[in-house]
Structures are given as structure tokens and as C-alpha cells.
Amino acid sequence: MDIKYFDHSATTPIDKSVLQEMVPYLKDSFGNPSSSYDLGKKNKEAINLARMKIATLINSKVNEIYFTSGGSESDNMIIKGIAIANRRRGNHIITSTIEHPAVLNSMKYLEKCGFKVTYLRPRENGIINIEDFKKHLTKSTILVSIMFVNNEIGTIQPIKEIGTICRKYGIFFHTDAVQAMGYVNVDVKEYNIDALSMSSHKFYGPKGIGVSYIKENVSFVNLIDGGHQERDRRAGTENVAGIVGTAKALENAYKNMNENNKKIKALRDYYIVEIKRRIPYIKINGDLKDRVVTNANISFAGIVGDELLKELNKDGICVSSGSACSAGFVNPSHVLLSLGLSKNLSKAAVRVTFGKDNTREETEFLIDKVEEGVNKLRKKAK
């Protein structure tokens, strides 16, 4: 069966040029980067070059880039590390109710450690109210963690404004930018970002490799102790092939961003227009303007999203009913509930996320099958 993939927020296929860059470090150049002989030194040089490329792309310093196993580790490393290291300054943290579980569960851990966490609820359009954010700042606020782009509804938060406010009051600002990288021109200096998380497999790189950017004047405690890798801040033998692939993937993403975004947005907009025209009783979740170009999250009243997924899967179509990390759970999305949707309408949501290799023909096929599936399920429910 021909697979038609529309779940790029869950993961992206690895780009051919990225794989080619990685292959030498999966085969002949297998040396441990911590070794003193040439086979190891060569790999250390590859890591240093990758670090330099990534730093240049996001406008940071080379010594502010740390490699991790992915977005979840990066979130944990930054949030727990900064909070614990700076506890003497205060014990209050601000985040939102629509963050990724890696952020929300890190916050729960810190609450058990005595920290106070404020969870901001976004407006109905899925975007944080800046005035509401300002009201919750206190003298004991040491850290703010607000995601750049939401993984379920694609909304883009006012990161520059939040970063400017945090910088004014000397509060550390972290953003989970996992869903932004490759689609938004992220500049850590322009946005006043002190710490940032990213994951390679979201922008056509390999799985199992992530990046933490942490500004050099920000103190944090180590999440993983052991050897002297990553300047004594993140122990463990480096994933050389993954690191090299991440740098190449991010380089591609920045280079081709405008071209890819234009193509993806055209497909996404066509999908939304046709679904609105052909299927009644729907709700588009999240703001349509301040939204990443890939995302279309729509609730189809009268059905269960997971059931529509099963119907689409029969035709080789891959979409999602929520974040990939929630797969298998029947509970309604915490993001959609935070927007004020009912449980039934939250369960009726289907997330379609487009990628650079999708075509108009595939999109038309998707629209036909979504219409067919929704009509079938609605009849069945009567």
C-alpha cells in the first residue's frame, strides 16, 4: 500500500542528504570522540563543527550548545537544571497549560521539590494573553517556560514579547522550540531566549538526538552525571552520527525555509478550505493567523477522532488525533480542553500536519477520504 504521510509534527522522514552525511560515522569512522588517537579525534572534530553550525544558525555562541537524546531530555535538563541551581533567587515558575508533557511533568516534579508553578491558560485561540502573563510575575519568579509552537494546534506564542519582559526583570526564559525549528527563523538573541530545546527528528533529521541551547551566564545543575562529555554538563558517549545529521538537517531547514513554507502553507490552506466547504459541523482549533504553516487541527462533531484515524489508515493515510506522545490514550487532549472545548469535541479532533514532500494529489486524496470517513462514522453513530 502506498503510504500518504500527514503526521510531520509526530516525526519527519530523514532527508537523504542528512543520511548521506551520517553514514561515514555509522560505518568506518566509529571511534569514540573521547579517545586520544586519530580515529576518535576525527569524530570530536565532527562534533565541534556540528556545534558551530547550529550555533551560527540560531545566533548563539558555540559553548552554549549541548547535545542530548531529544526534546524531552532537553526540556528536563533546562527546566529542572535552571530551577534547582537558582533556587536561592526564588521558587516561582510560570508555564502554560498547553505545554508538552515533558515540560508539564518537569513542573510537577519541581512542585514536589517545593517550587510554586503558575499554569497560564491561553485564550480560546490557543495563544497566551501577555497582560495575563504580566499579572502573574512576582519578585520570586526565576523561570518562565512557554513553548514556541504548540505541537497539537500549531499556534505560535508571542515569544519575543515574553522574552523581552523576562529580560527586563532578570527572569530566565526557556522555550520548547521543538515544533518551531525548520518553520520559524529562530534567533535566540532577537527573541531574548535564555534557553531553548529542539529535537532533530522534527526537521528531517534522525531520531534520538536533541539540542539544548543554554545562555552562557545561566547556571544549571547537571541532569546526567558521569564522564566529561559536553564540557562536564551532560555525560555519556556522544551520538556522533546523530549530531552530524542534526547539524545538516537544521542547515537544510534554514536554507530552504521560505520555499518549503510557501509550498506547505498552500497545501494546508487548501485542505482547510475544502474541509470547510465539504463537511459541516466542524471546528478549526487554534488561531489561523498565528500558526505554523504545517498544522491543521479540526474537530469533527459527532465522531471520535481515533475512529477516523482507523478509517484513514485503511487507505494508507497517516494522521494523528493528538500529540504522538499521547498515542494509545483515549483521554481528551489537555490542550483542547484548555481552549475550552468540551470533552466530546476534544475527542473528535484530528491533527493533519503537512511536510515538504507532500503533493496536491495526495492532499486531494486525503480530503476525499476524510469526507468519506466522517460521513461513514456519523451515519454509524445515529
Catalytic residue numbers? 325
Instruction: Please tell me the distance from the alpha carbon of residue 246 to that of residue 14, in angstroms, as a whole number.
Output: 10
- CA torsion angle 212 215 216 217 (round to 10): -130
Instruction: Please tell me the distance from the alpha carbon of residue 273 to that of residue 268, in angstroms, as a whole number.
Output: 9
- CA torsion angle 139 213 70 8 (round to 10): 100
CA angle 161, 166, 170 (to 5 degrees): 155
What are 188's three cell numbers?
Answer: 535566540
The single-letter DSSP state of residue 7 is B
What sections of the chain are H helices per DSSP?
16-26, 38-58, 71-85, 101-112, 130-135, 159-169, 229-232, 240-255, 257-278, 305-313, 334-338, 343-347, 360-381
